[in-house]
């Protein structure tokens, strides 16, 4: 069977979506992700495709196996749901940016080598920035720049790791890495990946940028960047214990902030940090059960988190705000949005019969079976915080609580259908988990619907709800900004600059004055002396040498072939040499 790269479908879709208008564009917006999904679901067999020899490198543009297939499946499904949700958008550039972003994610997932991976990785970063900028508000523009800078920095660290790895192993193949052989190159690659996975302390770009993105842009963004990072971590870094620890910390860090946040989409953004933490932890634990759990959780998470972003995004779209302190009682005016958001909330909280119940518990069981008790308890505590902040607090203060009288209606039909599809999968996976389990990289022997697991879950959820009821006055959201680690590059850098400026500026002026008095006269003296030396000694030698160089230049001119490919090859070789020299020292 001919192999069709799904990223190409999305890139063609992006071009057409930008070029066309009206109904033809709507058809393209729906057809491109649907075609990509059908190709992945029915037309893709494990194997290696699209091998290109470029400048002596063997680039594998498509390596298909069970791990990449399951991620491609959910990515293309999500792209279709996102397309349905954003169908009403008239701005073609937003569709194009969204599709290029998806193409980057699909290309990364299929990449069999680090160079292909890096190219698509950067495509993701740049395309997604436009989803933030497309909101066209000063706050969003600034947040977009910060987002882009952070991802560029992460990309450079990744690239440095890739070059060092090439130097040490002599190839660019992307595959599982051995924790026992971890060196600087592997850790640099891990840091590059970890930044996109929003691993604390490299996470602050996420709650900074996602809440500033467009309503539909955030729905795309919440699905792809972090989960593509989870895919590459799962492929390369399974069993790296540091990830298990960092992941468990992320789960609590994210929900901690979600408890005190006021902006609905920022609550959800912090929750991505928390939920991705489960996956990072599962990858770090590295057993078959934990890895299966991480992949299953990524699948389930993409759908219910997108549903939540669609629900809260619809509120923002219809009312102009997503701040909890300004909302309340919206169930009367947005009842369907309320139901869909609550479905997302109970799915993320892991209610029985929802997708969260059958995926999250695999990772927790993976930690328990691996005798990592502390990690297990941290993950369970985070699930308490999840239900508290997203399962109860978020829908309560938006749709129930005190009615603030904000005018609203349920959003347009396409947005409701998008939410409906995601809500369907939240229940479908929960009721029929084997559909998901059959796609996982390892055979599944885990059964989520045991009596004890049901009992444990219902106790945790029920008594968390009781806790919220007792503390409902304390839980009242406050319209404040919560400091996070972005303080370092948004505030502390100013202080460092001010500190440097104060002692440096007077010193600079003093040196300048000193030069005017002493240095200028001294320089004039030296210049007069050296001009005599130049005329007598140097000119004689240089003139002779210059004629020789002209001759060599004439010869070099003939080696210029004018072929772009060779120039790029030479430039790449020169770049590699510089990096290799830097590495050698």
Partner 1 sequence: MSRLIVTLIDYLRTRPMMLRGVCITLLGLIVLYDFMAVRHGDHFVGDRIRGFWALFGFIGCVGMTKFMKGLGYAFLMQPLDFYTSKERGED
Minimum gap (Å) between residue 339 Cβ and partner 1? 6
Contact flags string 382-421 toward partner 1, x per CB under 8 A = --xx--x-----------x---------x-----------
For residue 197, CA distances in Å to 230, 279, 309, 333 come to: 6, 10, 18, 37
Q: d(Cα 245, Cα 228) in Å, to the nearest integer?
A: 20
Instruction: Tell me if residue 474 falls in helix, strand or coil.
Output: coil
Residue 241 has which token pair? 């214990």
Crossing angle of helices 373-386 and 264-285, rounded to 10°: 160
Q: What is the distance of C-alpha 350 from the center of its chain?
A: 23
462 touching partner 1, by CB under 8 A = yes
Would you mind telling me the total number of residues written for the chain in this entry?
585
461 touching partner 1, by CB under 8 A = yes
490 touching partner 1, by CB under 8 A = yes
452 touching partner 1, by CB under 8 A = yes
Task: Supply φ then ψ for residue 144, to 5 degrees.
Answer: -65, -40
**What's the DSSP call for residue 323?**
B
Stretch that binds partner 1, among 115-123, 180-188, 282-290, 469-477 (CB under 8 A): 469-477
Task: Supply φ then ψ for residue 57, to 5 degrees.
Answer: -100, 140
468 touching partner 1, by CB under 8 A = yes
Q: d(Cα 161, Cα 188) in Å, to the nearest integer?
A: 5
Q: What is the distance of C-alpha 127 from the center of its chain?
A: 12
277 touching partner 1, by CB under 8 A = no
Q: d(Cα 436, Cα 358) in Å, to the nearest integer?
A: 9
Residue closer to partner 1 by CB (options 39, 140) is 140
Residue closer to partner 1 by CB (options 388, 390) is 388
Subset of 257-276 contacting partner 1 (CB under 8 A): 257, 259-260
106 touching partner 1, by CB under 8 A = no
Residue of 41, 52, 141, 466 interacting with partner 1 (CB under 8 A): 466
Q: d(Cα 506, Cα 508) in Å, to the nearest integer?
A: 5
456 touching partner 1, by CB under 8 A = yes
Task: Supply φ then ψ for residue 322, to 5 degrees.
Answer: -120, 15
Contact flags string 306-335 toward partner 1, x per CB under 8 A = -------------------------xx--x
Q: What is the largest CA-CA distance in the chain?
A: 99
Minimum gap (Å) between residue 252 Cβ and partner 1? 8
50 touching partner 1, by CB under 8 A = no
Q: d(Cα 51, Cα 71) in Å, to the nearest integer?
A: 21
Subset of 347-366 contacting partner 1 (CB under 8 A): 365
59 touching partner 1, by CB under 8 A = no
Stretch that binds partner 1, among 219-227, 268-276, 299-307, 459-467 (CB under 8 A): 459-467
Minimum gap (Å) between residue 453 Cβ and partner 1? 8
Minimum gap (Å) between residue 255 Cβ and partner 1? 7
171 touching partner 1, by CB under 8 A = no
Nearest CA to 302 among 336, 265, 344? 344
Residue of 48, 66, 168, 450 interacting with partner 1 (CB under 8 A): 450
Computed over its alpha carbons, how large is the radius of gyration of the chain?
28
Residue spans of alpha helices (H) in 214-287? 215-236, 241-260, 264-285
Subset of 194-253 contacting partner 1 (CB under 8 A): none
463 touching partner 1, by CB under 8 A = yes
Residue 350: left (phi > 0), alpha (psi -120 to 50), or beta?
left
Q: Which residues bind partner 1 (CB under 8 A)?
A: 139, 142, 255-257, 259-260, 331-332, 335-336, 338-339, 365, 368-369, 371, 373, 376, 380-381, 384-385, 388, 400, 410, 450-452, 454-456, 458-468, 470-471, 474-475, 478-483, 490-491, 494
């Amino acid at each position: 069977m001919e192999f069709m790269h799904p990223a190409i479908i999305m890139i063609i879709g992006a071009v057409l979506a930008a070029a066309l208008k009206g109904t033809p564009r709507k058809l393209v917006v729906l057809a491109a992700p649907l075609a990509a999904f059908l190709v992945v679901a029915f037309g893709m067999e494990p194997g290696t495709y699209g091998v290109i020899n470029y400048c002596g490198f063997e680039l594998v543009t498509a390596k298909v196996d069970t791990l990449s297939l399951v991620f491609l499946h959910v990515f293309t499904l999500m792209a279709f749901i996102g397309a349905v949700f954003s169908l009403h958008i008239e701005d073609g550039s937003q569709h194009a940016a969204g599709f290029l972003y998806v193409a980057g994610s699909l290309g990364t997932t299929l990449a069999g080598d680090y160079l292909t991976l890096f190219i698509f990785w950067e495509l993701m970063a740049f395309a997604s920035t436009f989803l933030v900028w497309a909101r066209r508000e000063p706050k969003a523009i600034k947040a977009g720049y910060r987002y882009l800078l952070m991802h560029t920095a992460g990309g450079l660290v990744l690239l440095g790791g890739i070059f060092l790895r090439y130097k040490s192993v002599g190839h660019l193949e992307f595959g599982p890495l051995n924790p026992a052989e971890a060196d600087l190159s592997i850790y640099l690659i891990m840091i590059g990946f970890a930044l996109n996975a929003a691993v604390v302390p490299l996470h602050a770009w996420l709650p900074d940028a996602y809440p500033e993105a467009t309503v539909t842009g955030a729905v795309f963004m919440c699905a792809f960047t972090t989960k593509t990072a989870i895919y590459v971590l799962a492929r390369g870094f399974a069993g790296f214990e540091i990830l298990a620890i960092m992941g468990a910390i992320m789960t609590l860090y994210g929900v901690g902030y979600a408890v005190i946040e006021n902006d609905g989409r920022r609550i959800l953004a912090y929750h991505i940090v928390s939920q991705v933490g489960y996956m990072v932890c599962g990858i770090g634990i590295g057993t078959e059960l934990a890895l299966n759990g991480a992949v299953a959780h990524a699948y389930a998470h993409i759908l219910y988190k997108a549903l939540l972003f669609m629900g809260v995004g619809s509120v923002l779209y219809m009312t102009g705000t997503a701040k909890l302190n300004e909302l309340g009682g919206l169930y009367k005016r947005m009842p369907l949005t309320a139901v869909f958001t609550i479905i997302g909330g109970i799915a993320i909280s892991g209610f029985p019969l929802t997708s969260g119940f059958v995926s999250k518990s695999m990772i927790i069981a993976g930690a328990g079976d691996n005798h990592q008790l502390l990690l297990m308890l941290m993950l369970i505590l985070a699930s308490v915080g999840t239900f508290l902040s997203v399962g109860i607090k978020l829908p309560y203060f938006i749709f129930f609580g005190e009615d603030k009288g904000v005018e609203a209606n349920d959003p347009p039909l396409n947005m409701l259908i998008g939410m409906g599809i995601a809500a369907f999968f939240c229940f479908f996976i929960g009721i029929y988990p084997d559909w998901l389990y059959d796609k996982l990289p390892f055979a599944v022997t885990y059964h989520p619907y045991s009596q004890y697991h049901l009992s444990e879950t219902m106790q945790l959820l029920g008594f968390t709800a009781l806790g919220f009821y007792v503390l409902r006055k304390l839980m009242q959201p406050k319209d404040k900004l919560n400091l996070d680690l972005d303080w370092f590059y948004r505030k502390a850098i100013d202080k460092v600059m001010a500190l440097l400026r104060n002692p440096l500026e007077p010193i600079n002026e003093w040196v300048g004055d000193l030069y005017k008095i002493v240095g200028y006269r001294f320089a004039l003296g030296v210049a007069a002396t050296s001009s005599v030396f130049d005329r007598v000694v140097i000119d004689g030698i240089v003139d002779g040498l210059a004629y020789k160089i002209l001759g060599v230049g004439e010869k070099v001119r003939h080696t210029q072939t004018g072929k772009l490919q060779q120039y790029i090859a030479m430039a790449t070789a020169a770049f590699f040499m510089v990096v290799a020299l830097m590495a050698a020292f």
